[in-house]
Amino acid sequence: MRYLLVLLVACSSPAPAHDTMPHRFENADQWAKRFDDPSRDAWQQPDKVIAALALTPSMTVADVGAGTGYFTVRLARAVPQGQVIATDIEPDMVRYLGERATREGLTNVRTVLAGADEPRLPAASVDRILVVDVWHHISDHARYAAGLAQALRPGGKLFIVDFTQAATHGPPKQHRLAPESIVADLRGAGLEAAIDPTQLPEQYIVVGTR
């Protein structure tokens, strides 16, 4: 789940509705058992998510919060003449991503150690950005959205996938975000933004266009 994945902290008192949900994912080999469990496909619907991106074979795609590469490897196979930049804030996830790409023969994957508040993607460098199950972990949505927006090439698109209030997977309900709030984050970063019509079992997709 990307996905570049990041972050669970138990709170001694209930958190407000849009509180950030910090969490560390330091042991990639252990997390891979959960993130890459085949049962995830049923609710994550990776094929539908990737179809929404409308990729072409030579595009450059950033998988932000890529974690153990659940989406990275699928994206790499969808852009065989392009490149996938897989980012995460956890050094061990970045290590795992690189080793997995080598193991699976995916030479078009490049890994980046991102900052907690900075995606570390060069300006105007990517055609698509995918952020899956990560937005509710980010502390400064405005800053992060601005960093992602500047990384898009003209006409490029940013896709954010996160959990509905009714989802049976995902973070505690007090940490879930309304899709309208993410639309506002992306518009604040200067992107045209809307809720994507793709229907997922437990999630929504918000898309921003430069």
pLDDT tens, residue by residue, 48-70? 999 999 999 999 999 999 999 99
Q: Of 209, 152, 161, give the one whose Cα is nearest residue 186.
A: 209
pLDDT bucket at 31, cuts 50 / 70 / 90: low
Q: Is the pLDDT of residue 1 over 60?
A: no
Q: What is the mean pLDDT of residues 96-104?
A: 97
* Res 38: pLDDT: 87
> Could you tell me which residues come within 8 angstroms of residue 128 by beta carbon, excluding any fewer than 6 positions away?
53, 55, 59, 60, 61, 62, 156, 157, 158, 159
Round to whole Å and give the CA distance between 186 and 146. Answer: 8
Over the chain, what is the mean pLDDT? 88
Q: Which CATH architecture has domain 1-6+23-33+41-157?
A: 3-Layer(aba) Sandwich (3.40)
| Greater pLDDT, 201 or 2 | 201
pLDDT bucket at 30, cuts 50 / 70 / 90: confident
pTM for the model stands at 0.86
7-29 residue pLDDT tens:
322 232 333 334 554 455 567 76
Scan for tokens 């921003």, then name that residue.
Answer: 208
Q: Are 130 and 205 in contact (CB under 8 A)?
A: no
Radius of gyration for the chain, computed over Cα atoms and rounded to the nearest angstrom: 16
